[in-house]
Amino acid sequence: MNEKEAIEKATADAFIELYNREMRTSFSITEYSDAPDIRCKDLKGNIFNFEITLTEDRKKDIAASLGRSNHRSFEALRKHLDEVKAGKANPLDRVSCLQGNVTKMIVGRIRKKLEKDYGSNVGLVICDTSPVCWDWELVVDDIRRRILSSRKNPFDKGIWIMSFRKDKIYRII
């Protein structure tokens, strides 16, 4: 199993447990696949498949958390501070705000997924990768408004965000 598959498996396992508990369903994963990533079935034979994507507060955050980028390193922060002192950088360039760049980033991820058709009985699950542990409830309405303004929604089983701690899910649609 490669790294991407391992991340999707961990996300799927946590999500389906939370989903079943919250929705009082009995879905179990029948296949780790591709497009959609996860295929599930419940005891009655109902199907629920879902595609998985990840959030990141800023570009390269996921790569940094996987050790593939040093943009969040002490050295990168020191360089940024030196540039701020020299008047060459904005001190707020490295700041994240749920109602600002974080929401903008997740809306962009969702829009890319809305361009594809994964068939019926499919949901979109977005796993929050930010250790800030954002309260997505604060921006659910804003995200919904931004993504549905002029687009069709191929996710008839909803669009969901799962918290960083994998202890809560937020339904967008």
By percentage, how much of the chain surpasses pLDDT 90?
66
- pLDDT of 77 reads 83
| Positive or negative torsion for Cα 78, 83, 86, 92 | negative
Give per-residue burial for 19-57: e unless 16+ CB within 10 Å, then b. Answer: bbeeeebebebeeeeeebbbbbbeeeeeebbbbbbbbbb
Residues 6+ apart with CB under 8 A from 33: 39
| Positive or negative torsion for Cα 126, 127, 129, 133 | positive
- pLDDT of 166 reads 95
- pLDDT of 42 reads 97
Looking at per-residue confidence, does 45 or 70 come out higher?
A: 45
Phi/psi of residue 135, nearest 5 degrees: -95, 90
pLDDT surpassing 70 at residue 59: yes
What confidence tier does 43 reach under pLDDT thresholds 50, 70, 90? very high
Residue 52: beta bridge partners? 125
Residue 22 CA to residue 156 CA, distance in Å, equals 18
- Convert the pLDDT of each residue in 13-23 to its tens digit: 999 999 999 99
Strand-strand pairing, 122-127 and 47-54: parallel
- pLDDT of 124 reads 97
- pLDDT of 62 reads 86
Residue 66 CA to residue 124 CA, distance in Å, equals 23
- pLDDT of 126 reads 97
Asked whether the bond before 36 is cis by omega within 30 degrees of 0, the reply is: yes
pLDDT surpassing 90 at residue 67: no
Instruction: Return the SS3 of 164.
Output: coil
By percentage, how much of the chain surpasses pLDDT 70?
99
- Convert the pLDDT of each residue in 114-160 to its tens digit: 999 999 999 999 999 998 999 999 999 999 999 887 678 899 999 99
